[in-house]
Amino acid sequence: MKFTIQKDLLLESIQHVMKAISSRVIIPILTGIKIEAINEGIKLTGSDSDISIESFIPTEENGIIHVENIQPGSIVVQSKYFPDIIRKLPLKTVEINTTDEFKVNIISGGSEFHLNGQDPNEYPQLPTLYSENSFTLTNTVLKELIKQTVYAVSTVETRPILTGVNMTLKDQGLNFVATDSHRLASRHLPINLVDNQLNFNSVVIPGKSLVELNKIIDENDETTSISVTENQILFQTKNLYFLSRLLDGNYPETSRLIPDQSKTTILTKTKELLNAIDRASLLARENKNNVVKLETKSDNRVEISGHTPEVGQVIEEVNSESVEGEDLKISFSAKYMLDALKIIESDNVKIEFTGAMRPFIIKPENDEDILQLILPVRTF
């Protein structure tokens, strides 16, 4: 195998596939990066069995040459050293070639590295997904879906199914839902299912996979093709192949958690409320739940307070657009509320309460497709 390649493109592909490589894998060869040279370009692969990422660098794109002097072949290189070597090479191009004994030579200007590689035939073959269950989303929309839900997945493994995001097809659209049993985030995306003869109802994508995918795809109008099989999901862009296993088990029915009526409704400026809760939480940090209190006052005012006996107290007053319904005193996790408000991009946020000890709903004004729910904390 031999080729000469633009260093920055190689480094970008390395960074993509490294997101799938773990030092805790059972199969030793999976700690390496597989490099494959074909006449059309260079393919890099990283995998930890749960996530597999392939990044492709075409020989030529839009009239620009990326790779030259290709002699086809493949090798597995050590991911512990290879990225740092490429990053620190002196020139903008790098030549990589291999010998029959799986030795890798890396040459750039006056620098020459000789690494021990591994037999690429020992590297597990990635499955090729041919699925009827395919649909496309623009990268911008896909990143929005991830950002608006993945933060609410559980970080503890006691209920593994809750560490994922539930993707379902219903109500003439695609639904993403995440919950850790203390809060919930959901996003509905209307899509035309007539053209897409999709027949999966519900799959659970590991939150970790979506976080890594979100780091890789750029926010633009290019599309990502999504294919679903029984136990895997594939996200495919022009030069990237991101394969993740799906979580086993049935995701809990979350729709029954969402109250269908409210007793108190607050409409307020998103940024003002976020900043007030952020400041109130400064004196609530000693409390392990980081709890703040919200109380409705007259004249559309809302009082936010944080209190730790050993530290002190903070009181914030927010002038809301409107406060309707019963008077309310409620306590909740400041962190959960801040996470929820950070993903709301509209100027105003609507919060619907059904009592001091009932879950409450947060959503942007005039947008029913984004919904978040938080369970209160008993303090009053």
Domains of the chain: 2-122 (3.10.150.10), 134-245 (3.10.150.10), 258-374 (3.70.10.10)
pLDDT at site 157: 86
Q: What is the mean pLDDT of residues 179-201?
A: 82
**DSSP string covering 19-85, please?**
TT--TT-SSGGGGEEEEEEETTEEEEEEE-SSEEEEEEEESEETTEE-EEEEE-EEEEEETTTHHHH
pLDDT at site 286: 61
- The H-assigned helical ranges of the chain are 7-18, 82-87, 139-147, 207-216, 270-280, 334-342
Contact present, 31 and 23 (Cβ < 8 Å): yes
In tens, the pLDDT along 96-121 reads: 999 989 999 999 999 999 999 999 99
pTM tops 0.85, yes or no: yes
Centre a 10 Å sphere on the Cβ of residue 159 and count the other Cβ atoms it contains: 12
Q: What is the mean pLDDT of residues 280-304?
A: 87
pLDDT at site 84: 97
129 band by pLDDT with thresholds 50, 70 and 90: low
Q: What is the mean pLDDT of residues 256-281?
A: 94
Structure tokens at 328: 């309310």
The residue that leads in pLDDT, 82 or 23, is 82
